[in-house]
Amino acid sequence: MKFNKLFFALFVSALLVLAACGSDNGDAEDAEGDTDEGGEVEQISVFQSKVEISEPLEELAEMYEEETGIEVDVWGTTGDDYLSQLQVRLNSNQGPSIMSVQNIQVADQLDSYLYDLSDMDVADDIAPDMALEFEDRLVGLPYGIEGFGLVYNKDLVDPEDITDYDSFVQTLQDFEEEGINGLMLSQEAYFLIGHISNYPFSLQDDYMAFIDELNEGETTMAEHDEFQEFGQFMEAIREHTVNPLDVNYDRQVGDFVNGETAMIHQGNWVASMLADYELDFEVGLMPFPLDGNDQQIVGVGGNWGVNGNKDQAEIDAAIDFLEWIHNSDVGHEYMVDEFAHVPGFTHIDADGLDPLAQEVLDASNSGDTIPWAHNYYPADIVPNDLAPAAEEFFLDDSMTGEEFIERLDEVWEGAVR
Amino acid sequence: MSKHHNKLWYLVFVLPLFIIFATVVLIPFFIGIFYSFFEWDGFSANPMVYVGLDNYIELIDDGRFLNSAWLTLEFTILSLVLVNVLGLGFALIVTSALKSANFARTMFFMPNLIGGLILGYIWQFIFSDGFRVIGELTGYENVFRNWLTDTDLAMYALVIVFSWQMAGYMMIIYIAGIQSIPGEVMEAAEIDGANYFQRLKNVVLPLLMPALTISLFLTLSFSFKIYDVNLSLTAGGPANSTELLAMHIYNEIFGYNNYGYGQAKAIIFFIVIAAITLTQVYMTKKREVEM
Amino acid sequence: MRLFKKYFKEILLVITALVFLSPVYIMIVNSFKSRSELYENVLALPETLTFEHYIRAMDRMNFGLAFFNSLVITIISVFIIVILSSMTAWMLARKDNTLSRVIFMTFIATMLIPFQTIMMPLIQFMDQIMSTTGLPMLNTRSGLIFMHVGFNASLAVFLYHGFVKSIPISLEESAEIDGASKFTVFWRIIFPILKPITVTVIILNVIQIWNDYLLPSLVLTDQSLRTIPLATFYFFGEFTIQWNQAMAGLVLTIIPVVIFYALAQKHIIKGIGEGAVK
């Protein structure tokens, strides 16, 4: 019987492999207790959320191992499930030595794991307002500074023409008559509502206090003029541009590149997408003119944190590795050129940045900026609550901007219940 | 002596697998039940507060949960029909004497191998651009538009993609069922002068009852716990119109960090679907015996 | 006319299969395109047939090692599943008492649990086992194999159980009267009869285990242990997805399974004439 032969072959190969496997258990079990007798650490691990920098980080880790003999194991996962993976690992004592802490809300959840980094040498070099602090402890070093806003085609748009609501709407109308799409959002939760919803928050005197009040139910968005105007802006976008729900990120960037759309609401990270195309125009980044705003909005997209639940020796080794990245020439080179980050540190020079990143850096250096508020939103409220509300708004033309803001109030209340 | 022996054999045959199964599935499931009595954010270093049955009581008025449960039921019924009609149809075709059957058998099965974000990307393209072109060509533009941006139609889009993926899987099970029909029975029916559809109705389908039981149950279980296709195709949207239960629970646990509450939802969800599906298995198994 | 009718059916089947497969076409053509080409036209054939994205994808995935890991994990898991599940299912079907029914129903009921709801307790419990007994459950191939067996046992037992019931019990009884042990009876008489369903179980489990992402991603952390699906994570960035490489990576992932399936399915398709139970 042919079948029996097949099965026999499977059986034998399985046995062989089993035997081969026996030897793998020996060296793979050191994920955790990786200190040897003398308390010397041989291996640390890094688990981080920005897939885009995985490969250069692995290269850095190799160089570090050659230099110091300490093995740095870089773990990976897709961009969207980092936090739940981290949670599962921390809960089962399988946590990494170094991890990403995306923002202060995550720092709040991870509080009991995060080691205070105030004593690090690089702590003093962090750019103003870019340190991740929680309850007076420094719990994260910034990956880099990022900004978003209206990314525009310099051949089509003059930023002088867009300074407030009226001129914004006028611009969209003009483009509409020319048969060009004035502004394009896209369907992904952060690109649809997450980032653009920042402005009315960021323009409050103290956005954190405002969000706290909102969470407590002591105030509403609807009673503030910035939000009402934001509703008007969104209405204008819905009326004069293509439906963002029909557009994904790839299409948004493609349409921008071939001139079918004049502006997209994106961040400087879009440069890596633009690099895949041959651009025949220059791009710029301008502030979103809500309430006449003329300041760039900048913030930190991720932070390096150290797992304080490890042995002191492993914590020290993790800190050494971070110091090395932030204080060595090769580290600086990688951060700027390979990670393509706008450094969040004053002692790191950034040359040769792409034009969008350069605008972010200039704005940040001038200090004339508004902060990212979405880092302080309740965790995951953007995909879970704000995006569905925005989808309703874009699907239902009869919903006014005012009703949209009321809807946002409703879902916000539901999310923090 | 022999009785004692039989017990020993029973253990030898059943115990090894059961131990592995219990370690990997049962015990974690019971730990999950335990968590459902606590208010906890899901980080073991953070406090767990015992709240008794509060999580269970709370979910009775959770509109989003109930809505999601309703959507899941709708989705399951639709896919149950479509997947099995397609799967059985394919199985009957590819076990026939057609020359291209071999080729088709592999082709029908391939969709099952494509998952994750790429599945979402491809189908989003088909629904947005593909449907628009079909609409322009046929003139039925109110039917062929982007289903994914319509709160009513997005559910059907999800059913189509899921059925596309699962039909080939169920086809395999139906093929196995068809293969186990003794040839003599078919020959006898043919000699008696039964035509194709008579044979199908009176011989093939009754003998396929075991395969049908299995396929119905598997479709039920896969569609009740659908997550991947849901996430990559619609991510629950637009406006939560396709947020099915597994995704809803995942969001409660890892999005809102209400671990205990999310687990309570999972337990209730499990009890309800177990009641439904085990009744189904029991009913169809009973029919098998009668046949 | 008859000839036309015959070929008409053939052609119809081929067309149906191709329509059904059109999404796969999208995946394959776009694995050859640059981002701007992809944007210009998703449906068009690539302008030039370059394997650049495949080479780049294989390089980034460390394909050889990932392939080896996937192969080892899949073969051993499926092998164990087939052996243990067929034995269990046969015993549960033959000793049809209350205990057997409870065990069987437990196996089946757990198929309704979404993995996402038990993944955290699972990994926690594995860590407990590891720290109390020293068994290497996490971050090893053998630990992952153990878990694959546990999670896929239900389906296999379910499939075998249904099939065993259709085998006439007289076969075994006569052998037992001749003094053969249960073990011998099972492997000599029963297991060969189970062949069609065994092939089905193998096919379904190979696919499931080969393509699985979530479980391996939680269990394996070492780069050197990554399976093929895990290694594709590089293409799925926080904001940017490299579709061409991602699709090339997926094509590379599924080719071995498609080949395997095309070979294995011949063992279940013998034409209606030859029944399984003889």
- pLDDT higher than threshold 50 for residue B99: yes
The type of residue at A87 is Q
Dist. CA C68–CA A16, nearest whole Å: 13
User: Could you give the 3-state DSSP secondary structure of residue C165?
Assistant: coil
Distance from the Cα of B118 to chain A's closest Cα (Å) equals: 13
Q: Looking at residues B63-77, what average pLDDT do you find?
A: 94
- pLDDT higher than threshold 90 for residue B180: no
pLDDT at B5: 77
C73 vs B: CB within 8 A:
no
A269 vs C: CB within 8 A:
yes
Contact at CB, B14 and C103, closer than 8 angstroms: yes
- pLDDT higher than threshold 50 for residue C274: no
Choose the closest CB to C113 out of B42, B172, B270.
Answer: B270
The type of residue at A114 is L
* DSSP 8-state secondary structure symbol assigned to residue C54: H
pLDDT at A19: 44
Dist. CA A130–CA A122, nearest whole Å: 13
Helix axes B209-224, B154-179, angle to 10 degrees: 150
- Which tokens hold the place of A355? 């034009």
Bigger pLDDT: B196 vs A259: A259
- pLDDT higher than threshold 80 for residue C57: yes
User: Could you give the 3-state DSSP secondary structure of residue A154?
Assistant: coil
Give the ipTM. Answer: 0.90
Residue B42 with chain A: CB contacts under 8 Å: 87, 91
- pLDDT higher than threshold 50 for residue C278: no
Please name the residues between 125 and 154 in chain B that touch chain C, using a CB distance below 8 Å: 125-126, 129
**Helical H segments across chain C, by residue range:** 2-20, 22-30, 35-40, 52-61, 63-94, 98-109, 115-133, 141-164, 170-177, 182-184, 191-193, 195-211, 214-219, 228-231, 243-264
Contact at CB, B13 and C90, closer than 8 angstroms: yes
pLDDT at B208: 86
pTM: 0.90
Q: Collect all residues with Cβ–Cβ distance below 8 Å to B150 and sequence separation of at least 6.
A: A395, B238
Where chain A has pLDDT below 70, the residues are 1-39
Contact at CB, A73 and C221, closer than 8 angstroms: yes
CA distances to A160, A390, B71, C63, C64 from C57, in Å: 44, 36, 39, 8, 12
A94 vs C: CB within 8 A:
yes
Contact at CB, C140 and A28, closer than 8 angstroms: yes
Choose the closest CB to B257 out of A109, A388, A392.
Answer: A109
Range in A94-103, B116-125, C80-89 with the lowest mean pLDDT: B116-125
| Contact indicator for B229, C120 with CB cutoff of 8 Å | no
Distance from the Cα of A241 to chain C's closest Cα (Å) equals: 20
How many beta-carbon pairs below 8 A join chains B and C? 254
- pLDDT higher than threshold 70 for residue B177: yes
Dist. CA B49–CA A389, nearest whole Å: 32
| Contact indicator for A386, A189 with CB cutoff of 8 Å | yes
C162 vs B: CB within 8 A:
yes
Dist. CA C119–CA C147, nearest whole Å: 11
Dist. CA C118–CA C116, nearest whole Å: 6
A246 vs B: CB within 8 A:
yes
| Contact indicator for C119, C214 with CB cutoff of 8 Å | yes
Nearest CA in chain B to A245: B149
Burial A335-355 (b: 16+ CB within 10 A, else e): bbeebbbbbbbeebebeebbe
A416 vs B: CB within 8 A:
no
| Contact indicator for C19, B105 with CB cutoff of 8 Å | no
Choose the closest CB to A21 out of C38, C141, C224.
Answer: C141
Residue C187 with chain A: CB contacts under 8 Å: none
Q: Collect all residues with Cβ–Cβ distance below 8 Å to A141 and sequence separation of at least 6.
A: A117, A120, A122, A123, A126, A131, A132, A303, A304, A322, A326, A344
Nearest CA in chain C to B126: C23
pLDDT at A39: 63
Q: Collect all residues with Cβ–Cβ distance below 8 Å to B288 and sequence separation of at least 6.
A: B209, B210, B213
Choose the closest CB to A91 out of B44, B151, B236.
Answer: B44
| Contact indicator for C254, C67 with CB cutoff of 8 Å | no
Contact at CB, B256 and A380, closer than 8 angstroms: yes
Helix axes B101-109, B63-94, angle to 10 degrees: 170
- If pLDDT is split at 50, 70 and 90, which confidence band does B286 have? low
Contact at CB, A93 and C127, closer than 8 angstroms: yes
Q: Among all chains, which residue has been given the structure tokens 């692995």?
A: A58
Dist. CA C273–CA B186, nearest whole Å: 8
* DSSP 8-state secondary structure symbol assigned to residue A276: T
* DSSP 8-state secondary structure symbol assigned to residue A113: G
| Contact indicator for A360, A368 with CB cutoff of 8 Å | no
Terminal alpha carbon distance of chain C: 39
Summary mean pLDDT of chain B:
88
Closest CA to A265 of A295, A289, A293: A289
- Which tokens hold the place of A406? 């009321």
Q: Looking at residues B154-176, what average pLDDT do you find?
A: 93
Distance from the Cα of C224 to chain B's closest Cα (Å) equals: 23
- Optimal mutation site among A245, A250, A416, interface B, most CBs of chain B within 10 A: A245
Contact at CB, B149 and A189, closer than 8 angstroms: no
Terminal alpha carbon distance of chain B: 38
Q: Which long-range contacts (CB under 8 A, 24 or more apart) does A227-232 make?
A: A227/A200, A227/A405, A227/A408, A228/A401, A228/A402, A228/A405, A229/A165, A229/A200, A229/A290, A229/A291, A230/A197, A230/A199, A230/A200, A230/A290, A230/A401, A230/A405, A231/A400, A231/A401, A231/A402, A231/A404, A231/A405, A232/A165, A232/A401
- Burial (CB count <10 Å: 0-12, 13-18, 19+), residue A42: middle
pLDDT at C269: 64
Dist. CA A125–CA A382, nearest whole Å: 32
Closest CA to C205 of C21, C76, C24, C107: C76
Contact at CB, B100 and C13, closer than 8 angstroms: yes
pLDDT at B1: 44
A86 vs B: CB within 8 A:
no
Distance from the Cα of B24 to chain C's closest Cα (Å) equals: 6
pLDDT at C55: 94
Task: Tell me what percent of the residues of chain B surpass a pLDDT of 70.
Answer: 96
Q: Among all chains, which residue has been given the structure tokens 């069987």?
A: C104
- If pLDDT is split at 50, 70 and 90, which confidence band does C18 have? confident
Longest dimension (CA), chain C: 75
Chains linked to B by 3 or more Cβ pairs within 8 Å: A, C
Range in A290-299, C51-60, C76-85, C169-178 with the lowest mean pLDDT: C169-178
Q: Determine how β-strand A43-47 pairs with β-strand A98-101.
A: parallel
Residue A297 falls in which region: left (phi positive, over 0), alpha (psi -120 to 50) or beta: beta
pLDDT at A36: 45
**Between vectors from CA A376 to CA A373 and to CA A382, what angle results, nearest 5°?**
85
Q: Among all chains, which residue has been given the structure tokens 């088909």?
A: B126
Q: In what order do the strands lie in the sheet with A71-75?
A: A71-75, A43-47, A98-101, A303-306, A137-142, A132-134
Summary mean pLDDT of chain C:
88
DSSP symbols for B155-189: HHHHHHHHHHHHHHHHHHHHHHHHHTS-HHHHHHH
